[in-house]
């Protein structure tokens, strides 16, 4: 009799996770893209996060906020990927003694310019701006996902937007903020 109860529980957990995956994988992939700026890595990071969630699903599903846990996992994986990429670029530069990579000209589309500007932000500022504006997440939820205080989210978001404004044309930055607050 005990074996049957575990089987039913495992089947229910599998069904719950499958439903969660179907509902949230695309959004997690979008989050990964906006955090890393790498379209090829976005699906991989979202899938890696889902593997972590699946391995811990019984505990994660009981938290009451599995989506926040998933977003935090994506953010952590993205941070690790960015750090690894930065280390690799440094190694390549040292090896080849190349100069800086060429920058994009002013004729690049707004979306590309914003993505490039986001890449230049430090990770925490980028994460706060992306989660607040691209995902319309409340400050409290961003704080929970990143494991920081609400005040930190507010200051990092404000500073991140200010840096984006400095990097982009004033009109492009205003359009970004206006579009995201609709």
> pTM here?
0.58
CA contacts within 13 A on the Cβ side of 32: 27
Query: What is the per-residue pLDDT across 74-120, written as a single tens digit (0 to 9) for each?
Result: 999 999 988 888 888 777 766 665 455 555 544 445 677 778 888 88
Mean pLDDT of 131-144: 92
Q: What CATH architecture applies to the domain 1-101? A: Orthogonal Bundle (1.10)
pLDDT given at position 168:
81
* Count of CA atoms in the C-beta half-sphere (13 A) of 167: 20
- Measured in whole angstroms, the distance separating CA 53 from the mean position of its chain's CA atoms is 16
Hey, what are 79's tokens?
A: 């941070």
Tens-place pLDDT, residues 5-62? 555 567 888 899 999 999 999 999 999 999 998 888 899 999 999 999 999 998 998 8
What CATH architecture does domain 103-182 belong to? Answer: Orthogonal Bundle (1.10)
DSSP 63: T
Per-residue pLDDT at 86: 80
Q: Is-same-fold flag (1-101; 103-182)?
A: no
Asked if the model's pLDDT at residue 73 lies above 90, the reply is: yes
Domain range annotation of the chain: 1-101, 103-182
């Amino acid at each position: 009799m005990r074996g049957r109860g575990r089987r039913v529980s495992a089947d229910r957990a599998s069904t719950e996770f499958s439903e969660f995956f179907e509902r949230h994988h695309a959004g997690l992939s979008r989050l990964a893209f906006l955090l890393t700026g790498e379209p090829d890595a976005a699906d991989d990071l979202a899938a890696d996060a889902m593997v972590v969630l699946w391995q811990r699903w019984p505990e994660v599903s009981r938290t009451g906020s599995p989506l926040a846990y998933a977003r935090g996992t994506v953010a952590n994986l993205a941070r690790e990927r960015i750090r690894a990429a930065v280390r690799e670029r440094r190694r390549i530069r040292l090896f080849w003694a190349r100069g800086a990579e060429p920058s994009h000209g002013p004729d690049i589309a707004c979306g590309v310019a914003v993505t490039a500007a986001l890449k230049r932000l430090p990770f925490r500022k980028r994460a706060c701006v992306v989660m607040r504006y691209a995902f319309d997440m409340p400050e409290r939820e961003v704080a929970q996902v990143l494991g920081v205080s609400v005040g930190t989210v507010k200051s990092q978001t404000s500073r991140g937007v200010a840096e984006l404004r400095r990097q982009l044309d004033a009109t492009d930055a205003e359009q970004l903020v206006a579009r995201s607050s609709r």
